[in-house]
Structure 1
Amino acid sequence: MNQITPGSASRADEPQPDLAAAVRRLAHTSVLVIGDVMLDRYTYGEVSRISQEAPVPILAIDREVALPGGAGNVVRNLTAFGCATAFISVVGDDQAGSDLTGLIGGQPNVEPWLLVQGSRTTTLKTRLIASGQQLLRADREQTDPIHPKLADRMLRIALDAMAATSVTVLSDYGKGVLSADVPVRLVEAARKAGRKLIVDPRGSDFARYAGADVVMPNRLELAAAAHMPVDTEAAIIAAAQHLRVEHGFGAVVVTRGNDGMTLVDATRVLHFPAEAADVYDTSGAGDTALATLGAALAAKLDLAVAVRLANLAAGISVGKVGASVVREADLLSALTPQRSALRKIVTREEAVEQAERWRHRGWRVGFTNGFFDLLHQGHIHLLEQARARCDRLIVGVNSDTSVHRLKGAPHPVQPEAARAAVLASFACVDEVCLFEEDTPEALIEALRPDVLVKGGTQSIEDVEGADLMRNWGGRVLLIDLVQDHVTQPALTPLKG
């Protein structure tokens, strides 16, 4: 790695270690997250008219989604990697706090410590969205410091949690959890416990985080804290180096949006260009980067490798719609961008995220489903006709257990992995998603396709999922099967 020289940073494009192996290590880590949690509520709908009461659009609400935000989104990203995560925060004695407690507790591999402060307002951010665009964001919050006795209790819990985890992450959104001397005491506790501590800072007083191993400000936060210009790369390096020396930071990682990230530590300056191919939504990208950096350092990866993975994860995040998480499979796919057939086989969560991205581009999402056991010309005809009626086609495939329940032994003849792989090899199929249920209705409801295509002679009313499609204005299309090739086991429209 290069020595720091005035006004320049080396590009981090030299030969890298086995990054795929590094990514696979993230799941075998443990991380403690402390910070401001909030409830992110997304209200989706369509706008087709303007109110007569005022010159504002009328949002016809279609659905609502609630997710943990702030430090809670850092936790979501860590659990998406498979990390064991301890989480300490404070909520109010209100409905939003209750909702957050349930959402956090429902995450896998999380030990939550959500302390309740009576009369405190839990931060709630409500976003109204139509056609992929935010119309309005309404915030309800209280930013006063948490009660001193609650801060003391939080610190006592943190001491025990640090002993059980490898890295501590402070996610400071300025909502009162990391107020007063709490960050200083946490840094000292981490040092005594022999644990690395990473900070996503807020405000201009970085002395509160003095001695942290890594601080991760954005460009504006860097300028405010250093009281220095950051309009050039040389200026960013100088400001980061100033903060590092002044406050005894091990390293400063500057997130620079479209310009990527810059790492400054005692011996090197490295710049990591932005990895994003398409930018749909920047919300949550900083949380994703912070979580990835924390997991990577918990895996004992070199800091430069950790920052590269964090930069890559941030690039993936902005390519998703909403505060979406980044998973191991996303990172591995980005490291080997050529899209092999097997990468078309995705989980339900991944399929839902991809469908949202396609719709954001204005593309029609199509769906069909079946057993697809011993694929024949009738199946191929259905798939080609389905793809011709949409811009992207997702195919749902009954799992082995589902087929066996519906058809009995000896079905399926081909196992689910083989059936999915064959379907993924067709150019007309964009994604393949297995489902365990006997019918595709739960998958259809999650995907919300624009077009549902089925083969056979049954009426549209008999198609499983047709009633759901009507809920969001989707279309159901019937395709005539190629009768000469419909042989056992043929596509069974009403059972998968």
Structure 2
Amino acid sequence: MPDSPLKDLRFLVVGDVMLDRYFWGDVERISPEAPVPVFNLKSVTMSLGGAANVANNLKGLGTKVELAGVVGQDNEAQEFLGLAKEKKIGTKAIIRDRGRPTTVKTRIIASSQQLLRIDAENTDTLSEESLSHLRKEIEALLPEIDALILSDYAKGILSSGELCRWLIGKAREFSLPVMVDPKGLFWRRYEGATCITPNLKELKEIAKEEGLYSSDMAKICEHLIRKYNLSFMLVTLGPEGMYLHHPEIKKRFPAQAREVYDVSGAGDTVIATLTAFYVAGYPLERVVNIANQAAGIVVGKVGTQPILWDELKSFIY
């Protein structure tokens, strides 16, 4: 079976990077102190989350990846950077900011069921000093990449329209595609991107914000593409699959999942796979089919885990 056709491509992911921490164990009794389960901890694992999971998916597909974002000056930052190094993800544009903690999501899992999630984060917008440092590091990377992904988790990195507009403007200077996984209702900051990939809930929310009360996805996407100067949109529909809206292709793709254990990170897999095969020059309909297949694979895994080339290659060839 051939190697990944994506191995010579290089991507930059900019966004809200996180450390995903998992406490694995089981529950066999209820506490005598209060009507709550007693969790018996067996092991602890860490993985790359948020925008870093997008980068990890790209790496899993065999590409080269640089990651841009902000972590704190804490032990969690060391864990995060160690994981990125282990995965061979570039961190030249990861900024250390002593004024904010590394974003950490801690999930407590018993018998493959999530009992609780604990978030430790600061969602304030970046300081001017960190923003300036981040821009400088990103600008140095732009001549070396084939596409830019903006992974917005509303944790403060892309919340300001200023950074998004600067990134999209710079990408245009280098004729780079820009793919956006959006968050929130201020889509003006994504104006001029190549593609935006909302889920159905996000699409309904932005449609309401735009004064569109139609349930017709085609009409909503048409409006958004025109208003925000996009090339196309891909809407993820969970168990209903995906909907592609392009001036020449308007099509639904049924879901490919056989079993669903955990949907966390599926959107990261979609935008990573979509971007990689789009840049590789595959026909758009084929690209969406591949992204749909990849999503179907990762939701069958427990925890935040990326798609791997070995899992996808039989579908490609």
Give TM-score, length-normalised by structure 1: 0.61
Structure-to-structure mapping, 1:98-247, within 5 angstroms? 98-108=78-88, 110-180=90-160, 181-227=162-208, 228-229=212-213, 231=215, 235-247=216-228
C-alpha offsets along residues 155-184 of structure 1, whole Å, 9 cap, x if unaligned?
Answer: 222222121010100000000111211111
SS at match of 1:93: coil
In the TM superposition, residue 332 of structure 1 has moved relative to its aligned partner by: 2.6
Show the counterpart of 1:309: 290
- In 2, Cα distance between equivalents of 1:230 and 1:187: 30
1:295 alignment partner in structure 2 = 276
1:91 is matched with 71
Whether contact under 8 Å (2:55, 2:89) holds in the other structure is no
Letter aligned with residue 179 of structure 1: S
User: What amino acid is the match of 2:67?
Assistant: F
Partners of 1:196 and 1:278 lie apart in 2 by 33
| Structure 2 counterpart SS, 1:69 | strand
SS in 2 for 1:324: coil
Q: Which residue of 2 aligns with 1:65?
A: 45
Deviations 1:54-97 (A, max 9, x none): 11111111000011100011111111111110111101112222
Structure-1 separation of matches of 2:115 and 2:64? 36
Check 1:157–1:302 CA distance in 2 against 1; reply closer, same or farther (3 A cut). Answer: farther
Provide the rounded CA distance (Å) in 1 between the counterparts of 2:4 and 2:74. Answer: 39
- The CA distance in 1 between the partners of 2:71 and 2:214, in whole Å, is 36
Equivalent pairs, count: 313
Which among 272, 281, 297 is matched to residue 253 of structure 2? 272
Distance (Å, rounded) in 1 between the aligned partners of 2:130 and 2:247:
37
| Residue 248 of structure 2 is aligned to residue 248 of structure 1 | no
1:78 matched residue in structure 2: 58
Considering Cα pairs closer than 8 Å and 6+ residues apart, tell me whether 1 or 2 has the greater RCO.
2
Shift of residue 265, structure 1, vs aligned partner: 1.8
* Contact 1:255–1:261 (Cα < 8 Å) also in 2: yes
CA contact (8 A) 1:32 1:165 kept: yes
Which position in structure 2 is the counterpart of 1:30? 10
Of 95-104 and 83-92, deviating more is 95-104
Q: 1:87 to 1:68 in 2, by over 3 A?
A: same
2:311 aligned residue (319, 327, 330) = 330
Q: Which residue of 2 aligns with 1:53?
A: 33
Q: Which whole-Å CA distance do the structure 2 matches of 1:315 and 1:280 have between them?
A: 11
CA RMSD of aligned residues (A): 1.7
Using structure 2 for the length normalisation, give the TM-score: 0.94
Against the structure 1 CA distance between its residues 206 and 311, is the aligned structure 2 distance closer, same or farther, given a 3 Å change threshold? Answer: same
The separation in 1 between residues aligned to 2:20 and 2:117, in whole angstroms, is 10
Pairing 1:282–2:263 present: yes
**Shift of residue 229 of structure 1?**
4.2
Task: Report the 3-state secondary structure (helix = DSSP H, G, I; strand = E; otherwise coil) of the residue aligned with 2:157.
Answer: coil
Letter in 2 for 1:172: D
Q: What is the rounded CA distance, in whole Å, between the counterparts of 1:130 and 1:72 in structure 2?
A: 25
CA gap 1:115/1:230 in 2 versus in 1, 3 angstroms: farther
Runs of 4+ in 1 over 4 A off after TM superposition: none
Tell me, what secondary structure is at the counterpart of 1:68?
strand
Instruction: State whether residues 67 and 89 of structure 2, in contact with CA within 8 Å, keep that contact through their aligned partners in structure 1.
Output: no
Measured against aligned partners, the alpha-carbon deviations of 1:288-341 in whole angstroms (never above 9, x if no partner) come to 1111112112312233222221111111111112112111121134568xxxxx
Contact 1:162 1:190 in 2 (8 A): yes
The alignment-based identity, stated in percent, is 38
1:197 counterpart letter in structure 2: V
> Matches of 2:7 and 2:289 in 1, distance apart?
17
For 1:134, the aligned partner's letter is Q
Residues 59, 65 of structure 2: 8 Å contact kept: yes
CA deviations on 1:267-300 (whole Å, 9 max, x unpaired) are 2212211111111111111111111112112312
Measured in 1, the distance between the counterparts of 2:314 and 2:110 equals: 30
Question: SS at the partner of 2:55?
Answer: helix
**CA shift for structure 1 position 108:** 2.2
Contact 1:35 1:173 in 2 (8 A): yes
**8 A Cα contact 2:13 2:68, kept in partner:** yes
Q: What's the offset of the Cα at 1:105?
A: 1.9
* Larger-gyration structure (1/2): 1
Question: Structure 1: 5+ residue runs without aligned partners?
Answer: 1-19, 337-496
